[in-house]
Amino acid sequence: MKVTEHLAAAKGKTLISIEVLPPQKGKTIDDLLKVIEPLMEFKPPFIDVTYHREEIIYKKRADGLIEEIPLRKRPGTVGICAAIKGRFNVDTVPHLVCGGFTPEETEDALFTLYYLGINNLLLLQGDSDKNPKTAVKTNAHKYASDLVAQVAEMNKGKFLHEETENEMKTNFCIGVAAYPEKHFEAPNLNTDLKWLKHKIDAGADYIVTQMFFDNKKYFDFVEKCKAAGINIPIIPGIKPIAQKKQLYSLPKIFHIDIPETLADVVEKCKDDKEVKRAGIEWAIQQSKELKAAGVPCLHYYTMSRSEATIEIAKAVF
């Protein structure tokens, strides 16, 4: 089923979904499946699997020169989606990014997903490549809206370099990301909403938000979306704080605010064990308030660890 079909079938009941990371290169999938297994108690109708673009490593060659090698440290998103789907009989949502792929390579990946029976996607611009030698492919998509438009065309049977519509049409449900506190590249929230609306107009079916710790920012964002003519489901993303250093790393990496009340509690914790407890309690209260407000789904960023999400889900669902 499509994500939007799961949301519609819930008839106003708040669902739960989770997001996991592919194992690092050289690790097996077994540990990831063990993380997911206890979370199946809460019947998530779909599970997201992230995609990580290549990083550059430097190796010394036999001739003494340094060679730059693009390397994906967490490969296998498509295969992992297929394995999770087969193991747990649950729909999976692979993430696809613009960076590092031509439209032709993207089309090939989409056909693979279609043949596997995976019909949900989360389409992202993805992290930028800071290496000028590999950053730009001649005709690579630059923005997520371009990626959305390509998938929407495939859903109509329009494939690259073919002049007529094909009998076969894909049937992808298209998700996109949004930022209640605005994308860090946007000069202001209204400009960011304009670009979000552009993704919706290109063919997106639902939205998943960046993590946030202040529910008011999510509620205000939803109202602003409605005012901008954005009327598709907006799924809030939740991540509990687990370490004191995250008070500073999360705002730096994800460009989000930590509420003063939460920051004060975390600062007073004597160790990360206490921080983890405080983070879980905050996420539980966040989740209960969002659920009471009738959000369509609560999406938990697990970082491929299950303990905190299990405790939160037991308290909320």
Active site residues: 19
Instruction: Give CA 189 to chain center in angstroms.
Output: 20
Report the C-alpha gap between 130 and 136 in whole angstroms. 10
Report the C-alpha gap between 169 and 157 in whole angstroms. 4
Report the C-alpha gap between 165 and 152 in whole angstroms. 13
Residues 6+ apart with CB under 8 A from 102: 137, 138, 139, 140
Q: Are strands 46-49 and 55-60 parallel, antiparallel or unpaired?
A: unpaired
Q: What distances in angstroms separate CA 94 from CA 41, 61, 174, one per listed residue?
A: 22, 36, 11
Report the C-alpha gap between 169 and 289 in whole angstroms. 40
Q: How many alpha carbons fall within 13 Å on the CB side of residue 244?
A: 11
For 127-161, letters b (16+ CB in 10 Å) and e give eebeeeeeeeeeebbeebbbbbbbbbbbbeeebee
